[in-house]
Structure 1
Amino acid sequence: MASGFQGRDLRGGFGFGAGSAIQMPPFTNRSEPAGGEGGAAAAGGVLKRSLNEMEWQQRLQYQHALFLRSVRQRTHLASPISPLSMVDLSSSSASFFPPDLSTLTPSSSSSSSALSGSCISSGLGGHVRRQQQNPNPPDFSFSAAAAPSCVTESENKSTTMRNRLLELERRLLDDEDEDEVSASGCSAVTTSEWSQTMQQLISPPPPAASAAQNPLSPSPTTSSSSTASSSASCSPPLATPSRQMLSDTVAAIVDRNLEAAAANLSVLKRAANPHGDPEQRLTAMMVAALYSRIEQPPSSGALRHPFAELCSAKHLAATQMLYDLSPCFKHALFAANLAILEATRDYSRIHILDFDLGQGRQYVSLIHALAERHRHHPSARPPFIKITAVADPASPFNFFNNGSGGLRMVGDLLAKLAQRSGVGLRFNIVCRRVAELNEAALGCEPGEALAVNLAFVLSRVADESVTPANPRDELLRRVKSLGPRVVVLVEQDMNGNTAPFAARFAEACGHYGALLESLEASVGRESGERALVEACLARKAANSVAREGADRVERCEVSGKWRARMGMAGFRSVPLGPSVAEPVKARLAASLRSKPGFTVKEEAGGLCFCWSGRVLTVASAWR
Structure 2
Amino acid sequence: MSNSKQKLMGYMLSALKSHVSPIDYPAPVAELFTEEHLLSVRSLYDMSPFFGLGFLAANYAILEAASEQPSTNKLHVIYLAIGWEEECLDHLILFYMVSVRQAGNRSTLKITTVEDSFNSGQRLMMLWDRLRDLAAQRGVRLELNIVSQKLSELSRNSVVFEPDEVLAVNLAFKLHRMPDESVSAENTRDELLRRVKGLAPQVVTLVEQEMNGNTAPFPMRVGEALAYYEALLEYFESTVPRDNSKRAMAEEGLIRKLVNSVACEGRDRVERCEVFEEWRARMGMAGFQLKPLGPQVAESLKPWLGCWAWDPRFTVKEENGGFCFGWRGRTLTVASAWH
Fold shared, TM-score > 0.5 on shorter chain: yes
Give me the whole-angstrom Cα distance separating, in 2, the residues matched to 1:342 and 1:355: 21
User: For residue 332 of structure 1, what is the aligned residue in structure 2?
Assistant: 54
- Cα displacement (A) at 1:337: 0.7
Distance across 1 between alignment mates of 2:93 and 2:119: 30
Q: 2:51 is aligned with what amino acid?
A: F
Give the Cα separation in 2 of the matches to 1:546 and 1:613: 27
Q: 1:488–1:321: structure 2 CA closer, same or farther, 3 Å change rule?
A: same
Pick aligned residue for 1:595 from 311, 318, 325? 311
- Tell me, in whole angstroms, the C-alpha distance in 2 between the residues paired with 1:375 and 1:434: 33
SS at match of 1:442: coil
Q: Choose the corresponding residue for 1:370, options 95, 116, 129.
A: 95
Shift, 1:408, TM fit: 2.5
Letter matched to residue 609 of structure 1: F
1:605 to 295, 318, 321: 321
Aligned to 1:423: 140
Contact (CA 8 Å) 1:367, 1:421: kept in 2 or not?
Answer: no
d(CA) in 2 for partners of 1:593, 1:462: 36
Letter in 1 for 2:315: T
In 1, Cα distance between equivalents of 2:299 and 2:167:
25
Please state whether the residue corresponding to 1:440 is helix, strand or coil.
Answer: coil
Residue of structure 1 aligned with 2:297, choices 575, 580, 583: 580
CA contact (8 A) 1:352 1:388 kept: yes
CA distance in 1 between counterparts of 2:198 and 2:309 reads: 44
Q: Does 1:323 align with 2:45?
A: yes
Aligned twin of 2:113: 389
1:350 paired to 2:75: yes
Specify the code of the residue in structure 1 equivalent to 2:16. Answer: L
Q: Which whole-Å deviations, capped at 9, do the CAs of 1:75-119 have from their partners, x for residues lacking one?
A: xxxxxxxxxxxxxxxxxxxxxxxxxxxxxxxxxxxxxxxxxxxxx
SS in 2 for 1:352: strand
Mapping of 1:392-541 within 5 angstroms? Answer: 392=116, 400-401=117-118, 405-541=122-258
What residue number does 1:548 align with?
265
- Deviation track 1:108-159 (CA, whole Å, cap 9, x = no partner) reads xxxxxxxxxxxxxxxxxxxxxxxxxxxxxxxxxxxxxxxxxxxxxxxxxxxx
* Separation in structure 1 between the aligned mates of residue 337 and residue 95 of structure 2, nearest angstrom: 19
1:500 Cα deviation from its structure 2 partner: 1.8
**Residue by residue, what CA displacement relative to the aligned partner does 1:344-388 show, whole Å, maximum 9, x if unpaired?**
123311111111312253443443453355356533x21111111
Q: Please say if 1:307 is aligned against 2:24.
A: no
CA–CA separation in structure 1 for the residues paired with 2:182 and 2:100: 49
Contact 1:348 1:383 in 2 (8 A): yes
* Letter paired with 2:336: S
Q: What residue number does 1:131 align with?
A: none
May I ask how many residue pairs the two structures share in their alignment? 336
SS in 2 for 1:322: helix
For the Cα contact (< 8 Å) 2:18–2:24, is it kept in 1? no
- Residues 299, 306 of structure 1: 8 Å contact kept: no
Q: Which has the higher contact order (CA 8 A, sep 6+)?
A: 2
Structure with bigger gyration radius: 1
Cα shift at 1:289: 1.7
In structure 1, what is the Cα distance between the partners aligned to 2:121 and 2:99?
35
Establish whether residue 280 from structure 1 lines up as the match of residue 2 from structure 2.
Answer: no
Alignment TM-score, normalising by the size of structure 1 = 0.51
Letter in 2 for 1:344: A
Give the superposition deviation at 1:422: 2.9
For 2:154, give the aligned amino acid: L
Identity %: 48
Distance 1:279 1:449, change over 3 A: same
| Cα deviation code 1:415-458 (max 9, x no counterpart) | 34323433211122111123432223111221111110100111
Question: 1:164: which partner in 2?
Answer: none
Answer yes or no: is the 8 Å Cα contact 2:151–2:192 preserved in 1.
Answer: yes
Q: Determine if contact 2:176/2:208 at 8 Å carries over to the other structure.
A: yes
Asked if the contact 1:462/1:472 (under 8 Å) is kept, the reply is: yes
1:293 maps to 19
SS in 1 for 2:290: coil
Cα separation, 1, equivalents of 2:98 and 2:273: 35
Give the alignment of 1:121-270 within 5 angstroms: none
SS at match of 1:292: helix
Q: Please give the alpha-carbon distance, in whole angstroms, between the structure 1 residues aligned to 2:100 and 2:206.
A: 29
Structure having the larger proportion of residues in strand: 2
Kept in 2: contact 1:353–1:390 (CA 8 A): yes
Cα 1:299–1:613 change in 2 (3 A) is closer
1:465 CA displacement: 0.5
Task: Answer whether contact 2:95 2:109 (CA < 8 A) is retained.
Answer: no
* Alpha-carbon contact 2:212-2:274 (below 8 Å) kept: yes
Separation (CA, whole Å) in 2 of partners of 1:298 and 1:291: 8
Task: For residue 344 of structure 1, give the secondary structure of its aligned residue in structure 2.
Answer: helix
Offset of residue 505 of structure 1: 0.9
**1:461 Cα offset (Å):** 0.5
Deviations 1:494-515 (A, max 9, x none): 0000012211111000001101
Deviation readout 1:553-591 (Å, 9 max, x if unpaired): 110001110011101110000001100012324532x23
Provide the secondary structure at the position in 1 that maps to 2:216: coil
Query: Do the aligned partners of 1:334 and 1:365 also contact (CA within 8 Å) in 2?
Result: yes
2:317 counterpart SS class:
strand
**2:55–2:90 Cα contact (<8 Å) kept:** no
Q: CA deviation at 1:493?
A: 0.3
- Mapped to 1, the partners of 2:38 and 2:238 lie a distance apart of 24
Structure 1: state its 5+ residue gaps.
1-237, 239-275, 393-399
Match of 1:386, SS? strand
Give, in whole Å, the separation in 1 of the partners of 2:108 and 2:119.
30
Change (3 A) 1:593 1:566: closer
Q: What is the Cα deviation at residue 404 of structure 1? A: 8.7
What's the Cα RMSD here?
A: 2.3
